[in-house]
Amino acid sequence: MRDEWKEMAVLYFLEQLTIPEICEKLEIPGTVCRSRIYRTRVCLKNILGPNYNTD
């Protein structure tokens, strides 16, 4: 996983920061932030595999 995706996973999923908070902290535009969150989510789904249950 790319470093920026790891950072995004920590900020968004673990620390539960909002997108505007992440944008301010990383000094990136909202579109970049949302794109990284999407790519991070896809990467995590690939790592966890199809049998991972979110329930």
Look at residue 8 in the predicted model and tell me its pLDDT. 92
* pLDDT confidence tier of residue 54, bands split at 50, 70 and 90: low
> Would you state the structure tokens that stand for residue 46, as one six-digit string?
């690939």
Q: Which residue has the higher pLDDT, 55 or 16?
A: 16
What is the rounded CA–CA span in Å between residue 27 and residue 29?
7
**pLDDT band, very low/low/confident/very high, at 52 (cuts 50, 70, 90):** confident
Asked if residue 12 has pLDDT above 70, the reply is yes
* pTM of model > 0.75: yes
Distance CA 20, CA 42 (A): 21
20: CB partners within 8 A, 6+ apart = 30
pLDDT at 32 over 80: yes
